[in-house]
Amino acid sequence: MSNIEQTLSIIKPDAVERNLIEDIKKIFTENNLSIKESKKIHISKDEAADFYKVHQSKPFYNDLCLYLSSGPIVVMILEGKNAIKENRKLMGATDPKDAENNTIRKLYGISIDKNSVHGSDSLENAKKEIEFFFKS
Ligand code: CDP
Ligand code: MG
């Protein structure tokens, strides 16, 4: 059974700043995730707060919103078989020091907050997050 999904990926400011956009995109495309849409944007802190509102009760919420709005990011729609799970696998664990070898966060992440990429974690959130950046 084919299970073609779309998911939202973000290349975060730390990775954009280090010119890692093409290296990260290549990891997606070489692993059967095609990039359907891609744009480089710089969001405000309020937009970041809206995007990350599921985390509003967490102690790291304010820093996370400041961080995501601190510089340009690249937002992408990735498409492929089991795209949500496959993207999470390619990203690796939230904290780069726990991430498996050859995952994006192991290769490029600096710390738990500067971990280079975001990826939707469920079908429901993928739909919401794609809508947030591409259908408004
Ligand atoms: O990004 P992921 O889905 O792996 O992790 P999350 O638990 O949904 O957290 C969202 C983001 O918050 C992470 O990617 C980290 O950048 C940040 N975070 C943090 O700064 N400190 C933590 N203790 C946990 C998460
Ligand atoms: Mg998450």
Q: Is 118 a catalytic residue?
A: yes
Cβ of residue 60 lying under 6 Å from some atom of ligand 1? yes
Nearest bound ligand to the CA of residue 58: 1
Amino acid at 2: S
Ligand 1 atom nearest residue 114's Cα: 16
Chain segment 11-41, per-residue pLDDT in tens: 999 999 999 999 999 999 999 999 999 999 9
Q: Would you say domain 4-133 falls under CATH 1.10.287.130?
A: no
Closest CA to 40 of 16, 64, 22, 18: 16
Ligand 1 atom nearest residue 91's Cα: 4
Confidence band (pLDDT; 50, 70, 90) for 136? low
C-alpha of residue 90 to centroid of ligand 2, in Å: 14
Chain segment 105-135, per-residue pLDDT in tens: 999 999 999 999 999 999 999 999 999 999 8
Tokens 């790291």, residue located: 60
- Specify whether the CB–CB gap between 52 and 68 falls below 8 A: yes
Chain segment 64-109, per-residue pLDDT in tens: 999 999 999 999 999 999 999 999 999 999 999 999 999 999 999 9
Q: Which long-range contacts (CB under 8 A, 24 or more apart) does 121-129 make?
A: 121/84, 121/88, 122/84, 123/5, 123/84, 125/54, 126/5, 126/6, 126/7, 126/8, 126/83, 126/84, 129/8, 129/51
Active-site option among 25, 88, 105, 118: 118
- Checking if the pLDDT of 55 tops 90, the result is yes
Q: Which pLDDT belongs to residue 2?
A: 79
Interior CA angle at 104 toward 100 and 110, to 5°? Answer: 90
Radius of gyration of the chain (CA): 14
